[in-house]
Amino acid sequence: MQKFLMVLGLLFFSVPMFSQNELRGVVYSEEQEPLAGASVLLNPGNRGTVTDEHGRFRFSDVSSERVEITVSFLGYQKWQQVVNPEKTGELEIILKQKSQLTGEVVVTAYRAGNRTPVAHTDLGREKLHAGGAGNDIPSLLKLTPSLITTSESGIGLGYTNLRIRGTDPTRINVTMNGIPVNDSESQGVFWANMPDFANSVENVQIQRGVGTSTQGPAAFGATVNFQTTTSNAEPYAELNSTAGSFNTYKNSLRFGTGLINNKFSFEGRYSRLKSDGYIHNAFSDHQSFYLAGTLHLNNSFLKMIVLHGDQRTGISWWGVPQEMLETNRRYNPAGVFTDEYGNDRYYEDQTDNYKQTHAQLFYSMAAGERFHFTAALHYTRGDGFYEQYREADSLKYYGLPALIISDQTIATTDLVRRKWMGNDFYGATVSGNVELSPGTNLTFGGGWNQYDGDHFGRLIWMRYAGKTEKEYEWYSNNGLKTDYNVFTKFNWQISPLLRIFADLQYRGINYEMTGDDDDLRTLEQEHDFSFFNPKAGVYVTPADRHSIYAFAGISNREPTRTDFKEANKDPDATPKAERLYDLEAGYNYESPTFSGGINFYYMHYKDQLVPTGEKSNVGNDIMTNVEKSYRAGVELMATTRPLSWIDWDMNITLSRNIIRDFVETSTNSYPVIVDGEEVWKTETITRERGDTEIAYSPSVTGSSRLSAEVIKNLKVSLLSKYVGEQYFDNTESEARKLDAYFVNDLQFTWSLFPKPLKNIDLQLTIHNVLDHEYETNAYGGNWYEQGQEYTWAYYYPMAGRYYMGQVVIRF
């Protein structure tokens, strides 16, 4: 804390002691919704900026008494006015819509508006990228309320993930332009398959709790909705180059044509990323591209988007064994084998390899001023495998007989195997919005999606192959999942003070599995689910700048493929669907220099699937139903600008996350004498633990971003994250607990405006500037021998102090 205060003091006393005029404002649509990404130009000086996620902009050090400000946004009429900065307070600019539609209507049906009674956070492109150069999406979102980031590589690249309110990634609904991104079977999102996706994101909204109805798997802790790059009225180009510790390099090119003949526009990006990672062999070798084209018509548009990712990543999902954590934090057991001389060696091709292509086609139209309609088709193709060296594997595991060579029976062999996936995900969505009267509207929509996924395994090399052919396929199975939903939302402005919100969704799922699994057991099974998810809330504005809201909702969710697979070994353990009852209430205040909010939540679960502490052989959590559990907490958020050159965003979440009457199931081994010899027997034992904390659910999390513009266009920021202690199983054992950590990043950002370029942005981030030693994630469990408890565990350590630098050149 002393070092934190020293840095804070430096930020304050580095400020030049002279007066500056400031010009600031906020840009709204005629419906009073803030317009993020609007272009704001100031003359004389030809200085430009874009509005943030709240529609706000700010110019400092405005020396002229009379300046011309121009605001433009695609699909809206240009706004232009001469103002005196010394006599002008905060400008409130309302843009009038042209007859030409914009891409924002695509996500309207799936997002919460400013007056929707849902706890949510909006981030524009600039705020998103302020999270650090070269980071994946989870790391860029790390400072948002109730969110925790984990990384298997140790530096926020490669295999990264996030939890919100303690909820694991398979329960967080993720959409891109309203289209489901979650894998239909695992229900998670693999960010490594979408390299540098953030560079094609215009803005993102995070809804905490049940949230509003959307496409794809149910939201059981949060919804994350991305909108990709929208059409820009003017042409642009951008070169982005990042370099840093652990041989990390990322280069990308972005471009946009602007409007061509007032009808066409195109945007694109290509990215290449490489990094060794902090953990041994946790390297990343990724590339991706994004292409979008739009045909703009008077009252409609047609837009096509293609996003492709190609990743090769070193396997690191096993973690670091607890016995190695103190002596070699960078140790990776994946790929280790013993050669003929007894030396430990690494199999360098112990890798995950995957290609994924998303294609989306949108048609949006306006029938008059009060009705918007959008229809979309989508298709995602994924192909890939992970490769492993296996030492002394039993031949019978692969359905192969033992070999007899020179009267010697060989039952095991070293081998290299690949586990493959090939899947198609396709469907259609529709949505419409009708304005019934000013402030009152009806939204409706639905979607149909089908996932067809093949899983199979092949042996590509064996030390003792016998008559086994190369590429021998030892298992093959298929998952076919169909889901559909319909929804309607009603926002009723009863009076200037009171607004009522109602949301009804019906969702149906059919999931069929056929074939054999990798353990040669049959997977033949079929499951059907139908869910009704109602939500309602009120939003009250008792006075200017003040608002109060309350929300209640129900969400239901089906188990994942892994849940069904693991239960296949025990038919009596077939997982149940989960149900969540969510109650939320909050208060918000907003002014030009301070905004703050508080949100209370109570999330009661029936049959919640919680992690047992164990992992599957591909790194997925193994889950079990618990009858009753809950999460209750309070989230506090604040943003302040005490001086014109200082911005401070902060949040803290205090929570209690409890399983009611948890019963632990473990094994106990003990010796017995059979025929005069000692033999170990194993029995299953149960222990009643009472109320216990849910795994991976810290009771305190918080973050802060303190920024100071120490000289013109040079900003210094301190990014801080605190995560309290958390257990990684449900027994509250001190032996299976992650310690609390408080990590700080120091960031320097300098903007230059050399002619004829638009600008050059330079960024240097010193991650973990205090060189703190910590782990963000772990897994493990326990067993008993003769009544004595023992622990096994694997951890995911993070890097100490490291550096990332970035240069962005815009034309």
| Listed range (180-189, 193-202, 366-375, 470-479) with the worst mean pLDDT | 366-375
Answer yes or no: is pLDDT of 166 > 70: yes
pLDDT in tens, 447-456: 999 999 999 9
Distance CA 315, CA 618 (A): 10
Q: 707 is written with which tokens?
A: 């920024």
Which DSSP state fits 368? S
Cβ burial, residue 730 (10 Å; 0-12/13-18/19+): buried
pLDDT in tens, 271-291: 999 999 999 999 999 999 999
Distance CA 797, CA 325 (A): 8
Q: 591 is written with which tokens?
A: 């002014």
pLDDT in tens, 403-432: 988 888 999 999 999 999 999 999 999 999
Which DSSP state fits 235? -
Answer yes or no: is pLDDT of 5 > 60: no
Answer yes or no: is pLDDT of 7 > 50: no
Residue, of 329 and 131, whose pLDDT is higher: 329
Q: What is the CATH number of domain 226-469+485-810?
A: 2.40.170.20
Report the chain's mean pLDDT, rounded to a whole number. 89
Q: Provide the β-strand partners of residue 631.
A: 603, 657
Sign of the Cα torsion 16, 714, 39, 703 reads negative
Distance CA 662, CA 684 (A): 16
Model confidence at 45, pLDDT cuts 50, 70, 90, reads: low
Please report the beta strands in 574-694, taking only residues with DSSP state E, as ranges in sequence order. 578-590, 594-615, 621-640, 646-674, 677-693
pLDDT in tens, 662-695: 888 888 888 888 887 888 888 888 888 899 999 9
Residue with tokens 């408890």: 789
Model confidence at 107, pLDDT cuts 50, 70, 90, reads: confident
Which DSSP state fits 577? P
The rounded percent of the chain whose pLDDT value lies above 70 is 94
Domains 1-98 and 226-469+485-810 agree in fold: no
Q: How far is CA 598 from CA 49, 584, 654, 754, in A?
A: 30, 10, 11, 43
Q: Output the pLDDT for position 15.
A: 38
Domain locations along the chain: 1-98, 226-469+485-810
Q: Provide the β-strand partners of residue 250.
A: 242, 273
- Contact criterion met (CB below 8 Å) for 614 and 781: yes
Q: What is the arithmetic mean of pLDDT over 511-535? A: 94
User: Residues near 261 by Cβ (< 8 Å), separated by ≥ 6?
Assistant: none
Which DSSP state fits 170? G
Model confidence at 384, pLDDT cuts 50, 70, 90, reads: very high
pLDDT in tens, 231-252: 888 899 999 999 999 999 999 9
User: Residues near 332 by Cβ (< 8 Å), separated by ≥ 6?
Assistant: 279, 280, 281, 282, 314, 316, 318, 320
Instruction: Give 38's Cβ-side CA count (13 Å radius).
Output: 32
Q: 319 is written with which tokens?
A: 């973690």
pLDDT in tens, 258-270: 989 889 999 999 9
Distance CA 606, CA 660 (A): 11
User: Residues near 642 by Cβ (< 8 Å), separated by ≥ 6?
Assistant: 593, 648
Number of other residues whose CB lies within 10 A of the CB of residue 12? 13
Distance CA 592, CA 89 (A): 9
Answer yes or no: is pLDDT of 696 > 70: yes
Model confidence at 103, pLDDT cuts 50, 70, 90, reads: low
pLDDT in tens, 498-517: 999 999 999 999 999 999 99
Q: How far is CA 720 from CA 50, 156, 542, 645, 717, in A?
A: 26, 15, 34, 19, 10
Closest CA to 805 of 337, 400, 248: 248
User: Residues near 674 by Cβ (< 8 Å), separated by ≥ 6?
Assistant: none
The single-letter code of the amino acid at 627 is E
Closest CA to 305 of 269, 271, 272, 273: 269
- Contact criterion met (CB below 8 Å) for 749 and 757: no
The model's pTM: 0.87
Q: What is the CATH number of domain 1-98?
A: 2.60.40.10
Residue with tokens 């002691």: 17
Q: Output the pLDDT for position 46.
A: 65
